[in-house]
Structure 1
Amino acid sequence: MPGFSRTHIMIRVALTGGIATGKSHVLDQFRRRGVPCLDADELAHGVTSAGTEATQAIAARFGADVLAADGAVDRKKMGPIVFADAAARHDLDAIVHPAVYRAIGAGLRAFELVGGAPFALVDIPLLYETGHASDFNRVIATVCPPDLQIKRLIDRGINRREAQQRLDAQMPAVEKAARADFVIRTDGSVEETNRQVEKILEILAS
């Protein structure tokens, strides 16, 4: 999978972690504190919108039934397919991930042109799985116990079987945390999580 240009002066920081480990909250906290942020999941929505090259490739591989009425990829239809079938998930990733990393590269170049911030943060859930950790100067990982991940997914309306499938499809959160430069535990209070954000922000901005 192609990487992106590493010519940026701005420090590049990746945020990763298992599903339902609090990445979105942590990203929002950095963003609220003025850090330029990108969200790979949001970029993936753009990549799989109606009429894109990736969407056309997905329809060719999985059939037009996986598209929504507006022509975009329907995630609710794709989810059960790819989380139950490793080969299907691999095929989807091979289509989507290169396009997402190109979008990340474009976003980081735009941040660099604007300037004014010591670092930029990119939320990439599958950073290690896609082999792109070396594209970044630092990595932050969110982590919480697997049973809490399952509970959070169930609270989102996903049944227990599908929740477990989604955990099984990713590298364990504790393994990601072991590889990261910074770890944020999200099984405590919101205030405790935010204090960890503040501490890391202070280090990275110094």
Structure 2
Amino acid sequence: MAGFCVGITGGVASGKSEVTRRFEALGIAVADADVSARAAVAAGSTGLAEIVSAFGAQVLDRDGGLDRAAMRQRVFGDDHARKRLEAIVHPLVREMLQRQCRLAPGPYAVAAIPLLAEGGGREAYPWLQRILVVDVPVAVQQARVMQRDRIDAELAQRMIAAQATREARLAIADDVIVNDGPLDDLQTQVAALDRRYRALAADA
């Protein structure tokens, strides 16, 4: 069981997934908030029942699951609706992540939480011993989003603006990986942090 847990976060296209893959390659268990979010609103779940109660049956697909496209349309550009959805999903995700980290084998565990800053930061996740932010300049972030999703600059800017600012993420960071260079640089940074986290977990 891992008593020491590190939260990893970063903006869209910052390279969070690449970083978590490299921790996994070093034998570290990763609990993924996106996976937990899907489980939290799976067909038949209490989370999905709460969403239907809040937004109506029109957010369901023909199989009785969550129609993600319809839900995105419903909350995109509507802060009240988005916060209502997050108030349902985020507590369920936090509980799942904490349980997975606590039960994980190894010296420490990683929780990949894209919306950590948006979801309450350290106050919402008091069980995280460290927060690691994967950071890139906004211009690099925008270029990556445009290339990855094949979208124009305006939509990329809106996607970035919908998240916490770079400054807000860095304000909650204990550790930072700057991911604007070659992948070899990334490996060096992950390996150094892995050594640090193993030492901290041993002393905890």
TM-score by length of 2: 0.86
Partner of 1:205: 198
Q: Which moved more, 1:86-95 or 1:67-76?
A: 67-76
Q: Which runs of 5+ in 1 are unaligned?
A: 1-7
Deviates more, 1:165-174 or 1:137-146: 165-174
Alignment RMSD (CA, Å): 2.0
Tell me the matched-pair count.
Answer: 195
Whether 1:96 aligns to 2:89 is yes
Residues 188-199 of structure 1 correspond to what in structure 2 (within 5 A)? Answer: 188-199=181-192
Matching residue of 1:47: 40
Give 1:159 shift: 5.0
**Post-superposition CA distance 1:64-114 (Å, at most 9, x none):** 332233322233332233231111110010010011111112212322xxx
1:5 alignment partner in structure 2: none
Cα 1:143–1:198 shift into 2, 3 Å: same
Structure 1 range deviating more: 155-164 or 47-56: 155-164
Provide the residue aligned with 1:75 in structure 2.
68
Q: 1:41 & 1:176 partners in 2: Cα distance?
A: 18
What residue number does 2:144 align with? Answer: 152
The answer to whether structure 1 residue 164 and structure 2 residue 157 are counterparts is: yes
Amino-acid identity (%): 34
Displacement of 1:9 in angstroms is 6.1
Q: Which residue of 1 aligns with 2:132?
A: 140
- Preserved contact between residue 3 and residue 102 of structure 2 (Cα < 8 Å): no
| Residue aligning to 1:22 | 15
Counterpart amino acid of residue 70 in structure 2: K
Structure 1 residues 162, 76: closer, same or farther in 2, change over 3 A? farther
- Paired AA for residue 111 in structure 2: V
How far apart, in 2, do the equivalents of 1:86 and 1:165 lie? Answer: 14
SS of the counterpart of 1:151? helix
Cα distance, 1:158 vs. partner? 4.8
TM-score by length of 1: 0.85
> What displacement does 1:162 show?
3.9
